[in-house]
Amino acid sequence: MPTIVSKEQYFETALDVLAEVGFKGLNIRRMCTTLGVTTGSFYHYFGSWKGFVDALFEYWEHRQDRILRDLSFGSGGPGDDIAAIRTLTLGLPHAAEAAIRAWGMNDPTVHETQRRVDSARRKTVRSVIGRVVDSDEAADVIVSLGMAMLVGFQNLTAEGQHSELVPLLDEYLRLVSLHGEST
């Protein structure tokens, strides 16, 4: 009896493969083998590799948007939003995102999707930081520092330089809180 899988299972498998071996190791055969299906199943859903890549990044971008919405930023106090940023950051698939960033350096479509996801994250974090820090200039710098920390962490982790995100993130959020107390 043939196995039937959903498009979402392909997407989640692709993200797992990206995390494990990077974008150069992601291919139709590897996903189909992992899922226990034939390549016909893949082509039935996506038609081509490009069709799959386009659908994967549409799925990934919409998932990121949904995650930001579900955390309900702005519905509580600044402390709740800071806690939500921590939850969001720790919950990201960092190894897969590092592979997506590397892929984006080689593919303009992937790069544009990554740019939109980063922009949405930046906008959300800027809104939170702006509620804590009075100075727009300082808030912008703090947001950029946070994004640099996230991207740097992801890239270092992808290169095998494992460090713990929790103490980095906690120190960053402590900086945000201290900056907010000094204004």
Does the structure show a pLDDT above 70 at 90? yes
Please check whether residue 127 lies inside any domain of the structure: yes
User: In which domain, by residue range, is 148 found?
Assistant: 7-182
pLDDT digits (tens, 9 = 90+) for 104-118: 999 999 999 999 999
**For residues 132 and 176, is the Cβ–Cβ distance under 8 A?**
yes
Identify whether 141 is part of a domain. yes
| Region of residue 26 (phi > 0: left; psi between -120 and 50: alpha; otherwise: beta) | beta
CB-based contacts of 86: which residues, under 8 Å, 6+ apart?
169, 170, 173
- pLDDT tens digits for range 3-38: 789 999 999 999 999 999 999 999 999 999 999 999
Count the domains in the chain.
1
Q: What is the CATH number of the domain that holds 119?
A: 1.10.357.10
Tokens of 95: 């190894």
Q: 34-38, 72-76, 77-81, 117-121: lowest mean pLDDT where?
A: 72-76
Let me know if residue 1 belongs to a domain: no
Quote the CA–CA distance of 64 and 105 in Å, as a whole number.
20
Copy the structure tokens of residue 107.
Answer: 């593919």
Q: Is residue 87 situated within a structural domain?
A: yes
Q: Is the pLDDT of residue 63 over 80?
A: yes
